[in-house]
Structure 1
Amino acid sequence: MCYYSNSKYWIADRMKVLISLGVISLATFHPSQAMPLNRSVLEVQQLVSGRVLNEKGTPLEGVSVSLVSGGASVSTDARGSYAIAAGGQGQLRFSFVGYKDQTVEISGRTTVDVVLAEDISALDELVVVGMGKQKKASVIGAISTVKMEDLQVPSRSLTNALAGKMAGAVVVQRSGELGRDNGGIWIRGISTFSANRSPLILVDGVERDMQDISVEEIESVSILKDASATAVYGVRAANGVVIVTTRRGKVQKPAIDFVAETGASDLPNLPKFIDGADYAMLYNEALGRENYSPEYIENVRNGSDPYLYPNVNWYNEIYKKYSRNSQANLSIRGGGEVARYFVGFGYINEAGNYKDNPDNQYKSNMKLERYNFRSNVDISLTKTTEIGLEVSGSLTDLHTPGVGGQIYSATYTPAQTLFYWTSLATPISNPVRLPIGHDLEGNEIWGWGAPTQVGEYNPVERLMGSGYNTEFRNQFMSQISVNQKLDQLLPGLSFRFAFSFDAYNQTEIQRRKFSPTWGIQGRDDTTGDLIIKEVTQGQQTLDYSRNLVTNRAKELKGQFNYNKSFGVNNVTAMLMYYQRDYIDGNAGSSILALPYRRQGIALRTTYDYNGRYFAEFNVGYNGSENFPKEKRFGWFPAVAAGVILSNESYWENLRSTINLFKIRGSVGMVGSEALPNGNRYGYLSVYGNGLGGYTFGETGVGYAGTGEDRIGVTNLTWEKGLKQNIGLELGFWNDLVKFEADYFYEKRTDILLQRASLPVFSGFNSAPFANMGRMINRGVDGTLEVNKRLTNGGFRVYGNFTYAKDKILEQDEAQKNYAYRMRTGHKYGQQFGLVALGLFGSEEEIANSPTQTFGVVRPGDVKFQDTNGDGQITIDDETAIGYSTLPEVNYGFGFQVDYKGFDLGMFFRGQSRVSYALGGSYIPFNQGVGKGNIFAEALDRWTEDNPNPNALYPRIFNGTSANNWQASTRTLYDGSFLRLSEVELGYTFRAAWLDRVKMKKMRLYVLAHNLATFSPWKLWDPETGSNQGMNYPLQRKFNFGLRASF
């Protein structure tokens, strides 16, 4: 019997199975009963089968396999396999999105295996833009995009994963403390000194935080940088836009992806402090007399009696060398013509590097667990109607030591608090723990040692004896959308409606106590036993307090889209209405508790002539509650144009070398509504209770009453920014080399600020707002990539660069005696201080130098420049020094190479032209209090025996030596660094082996993160900033991982 099939069948000795479009036909026959067939019929039914892989040996599912002459067409399955009925001669064409088509001669073969090469230009075909997607060739806005595969690093924070990966994105991570380690992100630096300097962040088109999104859920991240790209978002997008697009379903068989990692973390950049013997020696030197005898110092050094002569390295007592981290993600993706889906689950478990007390029934160490969930479903109800259902969320459980809070009117996190106490505790102040007695069974009981000086702490007791804090955060995010094609009304017209609802809840519980401490009075002369006395009774039971935060957000959008081609003329248009309602559940006043509401409309039109010439017009019309009715709404337009010269006919002879030459430019207006310090309704006057100063009768006693706190400004209006951008895109040798660069310039006017030059006698309790600031920001950013595929592998080299420099042209500041002391005319956040000329070498040099007015000056003290030439060194001699705390230069570069399944990748990132001021803990024996730990670098100091003019520290002095610690070029450090951020080595198993275990793909890898940092600053991680090294260091991670697909 003969059964025709256009897909695939197998012939066995006694059985033939035909599978076609899900229908199975079965026949049994004996070879002797087979009917003779002529040659032409046999050729029609000859089966050609094989597999389709990519250049890394990974099977490709969904590749279209067809006969060039027409007729049969099939698709590969999950293992890249296919079978097609074809003649013995002819050609097969293999086609797949993102890969170059390949045509192969059959030449009588029954097995044809194919390796498809990536089509680099096709991979970049679609780019996310404001409210949609466009072909990359037609995009004339300044947009940078990074794909999910470039973000797969062991980081909980998507923001931190972006560091160094995108041109124009400035990411700085100030802390590695779990739950508080999310970096800050800025687009092309800073363009305003008003309240809001951060970009708008959109996740699937909705304004959301991206801190707790799993990287495995991400399809791509794009940043919109110029006015043409951001204008449709109006006032929300003055500082740029970050668009996060999550993964969605597609027409394919269900594909299961599983990723798991586990590893260890350490802290590579902990500050180093001097030991007890050196501390005692420096203290004697600072006092100028012998406070600690040579015998005492020797006893400390040899450790003969660690209770009476302690020598404690507090960092070694608090931090352990390694901690564990692990994560796992599982996702399912697939669908058909009716419904497509993506469902993902994620889990992260990370621990800090604090030690635990085995005597406690609770943990002192930090620990964070996070669970992620996402479901994106698209359902085609009809050929013209599609609905989208998106539900996602995260649960975060954070456990931290029971410390943190107010210290000298400043709020510190648990990690900062522990470092502060560690900086106060000297290595000789007290032992960690003391044997204070025995229980009924004769077991020794231990208590915490009490510091010998008032104001010091036992950092280990603070860590292990203060209780614990827990934070539980949950986020729920949802969106429903309807997409309706309206071709029956107007070909190319469609409408989209979307509604989203998000909820955020946080519960913080504090269980705190204070352990009793014990001090040593000496040893018994007869027995030699320690004489121990209780110093503080403490609080043995854990107290309880709770804080709740609940935030809600709703968004509504309606959007018409039009896309139509008229021959070589391509036109698109978009008209959108937007409305958002947000309630801050942690508001500190009745005004801030009112809902935050925004609304606006946006219009975008684009024109493309034959893929050669492009034009675009965008405009946003937005309203703000912060301004009076007549100034509440504002227009923010932008225009852009571009041309691809390489598509011109005269470029034909150059195209083999320069396949892409594109020039684009844009100019437009953006706006901002944000008032300083989170204030609202700047046009309204505010009245307050409890204002003092009212007197009655003859007593002269002042009484509190009601008064005007802040005067409203009725002509307050939008902050405006004129953005200009010009860009160049080049492709060489069929995109073997790709280059892109942009020059940008922005001028902000009418910057919203709070008056600072009004005198006290003006009577204002709180200064009013005003549109009084002007600022410019300009620079360049760009990317370079080389991508080459070879027979058994390939390589990729890539890098990006951003340079952004701002300048304040006008701000309201109090007038100073000298123009060079004014902040106007300098970069935002510019450091100011004295110019240090070195160290005084003698009394004669001091006498012959301008008089320094910050205290008594001695040889070894810092010598400053007399900037104004008046013969005295005062605060009037301070001037601009160094840079600001936000780096002007940001860059990242790396490479990836693979060969026969093995792959190796390295990524570096860095920052430069950034400065930080040193804090008080850097100063030995600050303010003469005779306590405080000392950085090991203090040994490099000026002394009478070694009067080194280039010493890192001036002379050591126990007192209020204000002269040496004035803000100056000497107390400023260069925060530049180059970090080896990622090193990854992996192996992808070949498809032939995976067939045996029914897998589509499997890869094993090892990954090192934050492996090494190169910087002129050595005391702590330079990226964490100037907070006296008090921020928790960035962790170094060593992970082993598995990535599998089924």
Structure 2
Amino acid sequence: MNNAMSRLAILKGKVLHVLFLMIAISLYQNAKAGPVERDQDYIGSIIKLNKKKFSLVELFTIAETQTGVRFAYDALELNVNEPVEVSAKKLRLKELLSEINKQSGASFEWSKNIVTVIPPQKNQRNITADQTRTDVSGKVVDKNGHPVFKAVVLVKGSTTGTMTDENGKFKINAKPGDVLEIRYVGYQSIEVKVTNTSDITVVLEETNVILNDVVVVGYGTQKKTNLTGAVGVVKMEDMETRPLTNAGMALQGTVAGVYALQSSGKPGDDGAVIDIRGVGTFGDNSPLVLIDGVPGNINDVSANDIQSISVLKDAASSSIYGSRAANGVILVTTKKGTAGKIKVNYNAYIGTQSPTRLPHVLNSVDYTTLYNEASLNSGGAIVYPDATIQKYAAHNDPMFPDIDYFKVYYGDASTRNHRLSLSGGADNINYAFMVGQLNQDGVLVGTNYKKTDFRSNIDGYFLKDKKLRISAKLAGNLGVKNEPTDLWSAEWYATLAPIHPLKNADGKWVSVNGERNFYGEIKEGSTAQSKRYNFSGQMEGEYKILNGLSAQVTYGYNVTSSKANAFHANVTLYNESGSTTDLASNLTVTNETDVQTLLTSLLKYNKAIGKHEVTVLGGYSEEEFTYDWESGYRANFVNNTQRVLSLGDASTQTNNAGSYDLGLRSYFGRINYNFDGKYLFEANIRRDGSSRFAQGNQWGTFPSFSGGWVMSKERFMEKLDWLSHLKLRASWGRLGNQNINTYYNGSDILSSGRNYSLGGTLYSGVAVTAMTNKQLTWETAQQLDFGVDLVLKNNFEFTADYFDKRTKNLLLIQPIPLTMALSAPYANAGEVQNKGIEASLTYRKEFSNGLKLRGTINASHIVNKITSMNVAEQLTSPKAIKVGAAINSFYGYKMDGIYQISDFTWQNNSDPTVAYADRTYTLKPGVVKVSNYTAQPGDIKYKDLNKDNVVDMNNDREIIGSQFPDLTYAFNFNAEWKGFDLGFFLQGVKGVQGYTYYEIATPFSGFANMGSWWLNRWTPQNPSNTLPRLTLDGVRNNIHSSFYMENASYLRLKNVELGYSISPRILSRAGIKSLRLYGNVQNAFTITKFKGFDPEQTVSQTRAQAFPQVRVMTMGVNVNF
């Protein structure tokens, strides 16, 4: 640990020196730049020119193509054919406009990406009209027939031009045979031949910007239109005002094939569980996350600091990352600065949180009444006489309470978030700085979380033509989390029966049946506090060696250090008899440090010859991981306030420590070929060596191939004017997985702390405690993908993929006989298949009245199945590993109704006047019986699978449910109009089961309450066929079966937001560019039949110890200066 911290200190010093230097350069360059008459997002763009002399219109066209700006001008006022001679073949847009200004006298005004050209004085121009021409009139409209205002109309090959009025009408001097060129920002230019002098109607089509989007892929970027793999993209502008406490939740419902669920609402631990195209392993199924190219935790990045997220779903897209890409790859790109003056953004919200739902449970009267019934059914006596029940009903004695413990432990809580960002740049440097703080109280008593974070990204450009780029990235966060010690106990005690008192008449804490009073312990100071520090630094240099050839080196450093103090307070509890129980205080301190370094070297080459374009990438990377931990324990502290380990009783102390080191070395390459933007091909290969495996099995090779055919560029598709883009894709690849025990290196594991007796004396030593498998090798996943991308000119975008992913050599712990007293080894156990289909449909529309609409619906259907096993199936309840079933499917007996009185005969010649509880029942012949107990009326009847009329463990258990949904779907909608904006997000799953075998679902489990649905249990007067009778032993009904399986499908309004942006004309006086006020509701409502805490929580949860989801209502402001 000392070595790790020493390395951290050295790196911090170096990085901070570089950071301060870069900031100083930034401020100097920015001050030197002075005021610039431009929009700063585009002014620094580089324009490449292939000659010296151009006309104005040629320069405008080239600049539009290479930078994304659009020029607007009146061709009657401006001589667009005026020659301009440029000084260099590579100029920044600012420099180009300056040269145009000097030579033509034209000046420029900016509005976002639109440059309005202001011509010189009319007496300085030489615009003449051909006297043989006459006025030609017409109208320019969009595809909906709405007039296009200020469209430019030019007579091609001349200096004659005009602009349309607010009705879309124009009049221009031309003659029959002339060609009119019509242009407008955001629309495709069109040429029309003049055949008459009036009634020319021109319909403009919008430019499809979707296809020009740049997508972040492995070690680079690609235009969306050139992608051959399955890549999903999340643009974060829609997420900036959502109260996302972690960035992982931005993936929920936004990318088809990605299943993200929030397994907890606990502050600091409410991150998303993310599966990409199903679960393909028995181990960790988490995808690889890279933040600006360096492995990291997505929840260490604020959602507000992210520019975009790319999800690499198929093997062709992911194989460049090889051994850790089997579960998919998530590429997070953080925001950068752009050339121009400093831009300041402040975003803040405050809000309140509450549990989305809490189970409905019994009150004291109902609980005691049903308890008496269960006691009689179990052969016992009345436990709570009527007089006692009346005391509970009176509500005037603290020792006979009626407490809903869910309401005791859970309640409303506040949340606050503040974020500030600054960005800008000059000719040679761009920068972005971001800082924020989140304060989140928990809805469970005693829980809260505070996180402070910062991030800085600096890019510097050096040497002639800026051949050298050096980037420095620095980020850090400190999270402080407080929660009750033994949090799982707090969650369990929330299920307590209502009859257990909290305090006696003297206000003293009362024990629960002679045991703990966890609420009292929390109030007396039993608290676990953890502090987690994360720091990451990255230096990157890129040098352009030749035209199209560049080299890049990246070094990344990431350290996470945490310190946890778990303190149990000394509490005196009073029993009902008057005696007391003292709970001794104790403290456990745990320190952990995790250090990860990455060195990556890349060589990139791009060459275009005619219609052919080739891009080649080669690289090498080396990663190292080190982990150290230590813990100490002492008990019997003097008081509950001085929580220092040394103040505890030394005779009670224990300590422990451990560490490990891992390494990964990789070589990789990629080649892309593009012919005329029509035929696309990509091949990747990566070779990884991992220290987790024994020699001979450490290296794995992971190739992939993909291709695309842009059919819409074929001549036979040209007549389909409703089609903008149609591309067919296909890919195949093989990926790896090394996620096994971190100590696993092919050698048997030795552990200390083992005592040996030699000659009657005990000696401390070491022993083999775990077996290893020296033949263990990589888990490999092969995936086949077929996809289609379709863009229609009526604003629709559609993407669909079919995939078949097969994971072989599954890494699974192989059971060994208990008599060996060793931890079991891993084995390459079998194969699992995930196949399915995913689709996404997006609609965009902008109306002439300013209304903008955007909606996206996506869905995916995945079938998960174990296809083979090399070791024995693990048929245990409630989960099993079984060929033909999904991974970890629920396994048990299948409920087949309830035994009714008519299924039995009983003593006294079946005299119906004999009391139900006094009868001795015998099953009638032919009625299925259970092997290990005698069934009674009201007990659950189980299905006899092998038809031998006896239900037993070996022959009559089956798969009773799956934790993976058949269908996941989502719908996102956004609308904007006259400053108002409205957005909502619906997300849901179908065909998934939840297992509700937990305290309130199993009657009279320990000291727990029961769900209110048990009021409808089986009785002779209410012969239910869905709920069994009540008993105290639970032998007959509290066993793993489909009775405890529930439909966990749901549809949730995950987010709804309403905002209003104040007019810039009002704000400009105060120096504010934009100001938006908004209100947001997260987890607004849920439609489900599930009776547990929350259907979205991890469906493998089998108990009530689950921190509930929270509904968050916030109000906020987003300001740009």
TM-score by length of 1: 0.82
Aligned CA distance change for structure 1 residues 939 and 260 (closer, same or farther; 3 Å): same
Tell me the residue number matched to 2:1076: 1003
Indicate whether 1:298 and 2:390 are aligned.
yes
Residue of 207, 214, 217 corresponding to 2:305: 217
1:562 aligns with 2:605: yes
CA distance in 1, matches of 2:113, 2:439: 33
Change (3 A) 1:817 1:808: closer
| Residue in structure 2 matching 1:946, options 1012, 1015, 1022 | 1022
Check whether the contact 2:454–2:476 (CA below 8 A) recurs between aligned residues: yes
Note if 1:824 corresponds to 2:883: yes
Equivalent residue number for residue 1020 of structure 1: 1093
Q: Which has the higher contact order (CA 8 A, sep 6+)?
A: 1
1:156 equivalent in alignment to 2:245: yes
Measure the CA separation in 1 of the matches of 2:1051 and 2:117: 52
Partners of 2:777 and 2:409 in 1: how far apart?
A: 53
What do residues 953-1007 of structure 1 show as CA deviations (whole Å, max 9, x unaligned)? 3101112x32212211111112111110011111122222222322211111111
Q: Per the alignment, do residues 518 and 23 of structure 1 end up closer, same or farther by CA in structure 2, a change over 3 Å counting?
A: closer
Instruction: Give the match for residue 314 of structure 2.
Output: 226
2:997 and 2:757 map into 1 onto residues whose CA distance is 41
Q: Distance in 2 between matches of 1:278 and 1:746?
A: 52
Letter paired with 2:422: I
> 2:418 aligns to what?
328
Question: Number of matched residues?
Answer: 918
| 1:142-221 equivalences in 2 (<5 Å) | 142-152=230-240, 153-193=242-282, 195-221=283-309
Q: Do residues 980 (structure 1) and 1053 (structure 2) align? A: yes
Output the CA distance in 2 between the equivalents of 1:565 and 1:586: 53
TM-score, reference length from structure 2: 0.77
1:732 has 2:792 as partner:
yes
CA apart distance, 1:879 = 3.7
Task: Summarize deviations over 1:430-475 as a string: whole Å, max 9, x none.
Answer: 2x32343xxxxxxxxx321333x244x4343133224222211111
The reply on whether 1:649 has 2:715 as its aligned counterpart is yes
Between the aligned partners of 2:1052 and 2:825, the Cα distance in structure 1 is 45
1:641-790 correspondence runs (5 A): 641-654=707-720, 656-675=721-740, 677-681=741-745, 683-687=746-750, 709-733=769-793, 736-756=795-815, 765-790=822-847
1:1027 is displaced (CA, Å) by 3.4
Give the deviation of 1:206 after TM superposition: 0.3
* AA partner of residue 959 (structure 2): I
In 1: Cα distance, 2:111 partner to 2:629 partner: 53
Deviations 1:228-280 (Å, cap 9, x if unpaired)? Answer: 11111111211110000001111233211111111111112112211011111
Alignment CA distance shift 1:119-1:391 (3 Å): farther
What per-residue deviation string (whole Å, max 9, x for no partner) do you get for residues 195-218 of structure 1? Answer: 332211000000001112111100
Aligned twin of 1:862? 940
**Do the aligned partners of residues 649 and 253 (structure 1) sit closer, same or farther apart at CA in structure 2, a change above 3 Å counting?**
farther
Alpha-carbon distance between aligned partners in 2 of 1:657 and 1:863, rounded to the nearest angstrom = 61
Distance in 1, matches of 2:880 and 2:473, equals 54
Which residue number in structure 1 is paired with residue 627 of structure 2?
584
Equivalent-residue separation in structure 2 for 1:112 and 1:629 (angstroms): 77
Q: Which amino acid aligns with 2:1116?
A: G
Alignment-mate amino acid for residue 724 of structure 1: L
In structure 2, the residue matched to 1:368 is 449
Q: Partner residue of 1:853? A: 931
The secondary structure found in structure 2 opposite 1:310 is coil
Q: SS at the partner of 2:829?
A: strand
Structure 1 residues 921 and 565, CA, compared in 2 at 3 Å: closer, same or farther? same
Equivalent in 994, 1012, 1017 of residue 936 of structure 1: 1012
Task: Write out per-residue CA displacement over residues 821-859 of structure 1, whole angstroms, 9 at most, x where no aligned residue.
Answer: 971221101111111111111163433312212423211
Q: Distance in 2 between matches of 1:1016 and 1:295?
A: 38
Picking from 474, 481, 502, the partner of 2:540 is: 481
| Partner amino acid, structure 2, of 1:1004 | L
SS in 1 for 2:408: helix
CA contact (8 A) 2:693 2:776 kept: yes
Identical pairs, percent: 26
User: CA separation in 2, counterparts of 1:779 and 1:133?
Assistant: 27
Q: Secondary structure at the match of 2:266?
A: coil
Q: 1:392 to 1:619 in 2, by over 3 A?
A: same
Q: State whether structure 2 residue 492 is matched by structure 1 residue 433.
A: no
CA distance in 1, matches of 2:821, 2:36: 85
CA distance in 2, matches of 1:259, 1:869: 66
2:1065 maps to 992
Secondary structure of the structure 2 residue equivalent to 1:516: strand
Cα deviation, 1:680-714, whole Å, max 9, x if unaligned, reads 11x323456788999999xxx99999765555544
1:318 and 1:463 in contact (8 A); partners too: no
CA contact (8 A) 2:709 2:727 kept: yes
Considering only aligned residues, what root-mean-square deviation do their CA atoms show, in Å? Answer: 3.4
Contact 1:599 1:622 in 2 (8 A): yes
SS at match of 1:593: strand
| Stretches of structure 1 lacking an aligned partner (at least 5 in a row) | 1-19, 25-59, 92-99, 356-364, 405-413, 437-445, 522-532
Matches within 5 A, 1:53-64: none
Give 5+ residue unaligned stretches, structure 2: 1-32, 38-66, 83-103, 129-147, 154-160, 169-183, 188-205, 632-654, 905-922
CA contact 2:399–2:503 (8 Å) conserved in 1: no
Shift of 1:74: 2.7
Change (3 A) 1:990 1:920: closer
Contact between 2:70 and 2:115, CA under 8 Å: does it hold in 1?
Answer: no
**In the TM superposition, what whole-angstrom CA distance separates every residue of 1:772-794 from its partner, at most 9, and x where no partner exists?**
31221111112110000112121
Distance 1:807 1:235, change over 3 A: same
CA contact (8 A) 1:422 1:459 kept: no
Specify the code of the residue in structure 2 equivalent to 1:512: H
C-alpha separation between the residues in 1 aligned to 2:988 and 2:810? 31
C-alpha change, 1:934 and 1:609, in structure 2 (3 Å) is same
Distance 1:765 1:559, change over 3 A: same
Contact 2:151 2:163 in 1 (8 A): no
CA separation of 1:299 and 1:752: change in aligned 2, threshold 3 A: closer
What is the CA distance between 1:319 and its match in structure 2? Answer: 2.6
**Corresponding residue to 1:611 among 670, 673, 677:** 677
- Counterpart-to-counterpart distance in 1, 2:111 and 2:660: 56
Partner of 1:53: none
- Tell me which of 548, 571, 578 is aligned to 2:614: 571
Question: 1:686–1:332: structure 2 CA closer, same or farther, 3 Å change rule?
Answer: closer
Q: Secondary structure at the match of 2:1103?
A: coil
Is 1:1037 matched up with 2:1112?
yes
The match for 1:418 among 490, 493, 497 is 490
Q: Using the alignment, how far apart are the partners of 1:597 and 1:79 within structure 2?
A: 47
Q: Work out the CA distance in 2 between the residues paired with 1:111 and 1:912.
A: 51
Read off the aligned partner of 1:380 and give its amino acid letter: Y
Which residue is 2:60 aligned to? Answer: none
- CA distance, structure 2, for counterparts of residue 795 and residue 188 of structure 1: 30
Letter in 2 for 1:518: Y
Q: Does the CA contact (< 8 Å) of 1:466 and 1:515 recur in 2? A: no
1:583-629 residue CA offsets vs partner (Å, 9 max, x unmatched): 11238999972321111111000000001000111000111113333
Contact 1:865 1:877 in 2 (8 A): no
CA contact (8 A) 2:943 2:956 kept: no
Q: 1:123 to 1:536 in 2, by over 3 A?
A: farther
Matched residue, 1:385: 468
Aligned residue for 1:17?
Answer: none
CA 467–695 in structure 1, closer or farther in 2 if over 3 Å, else same: closer
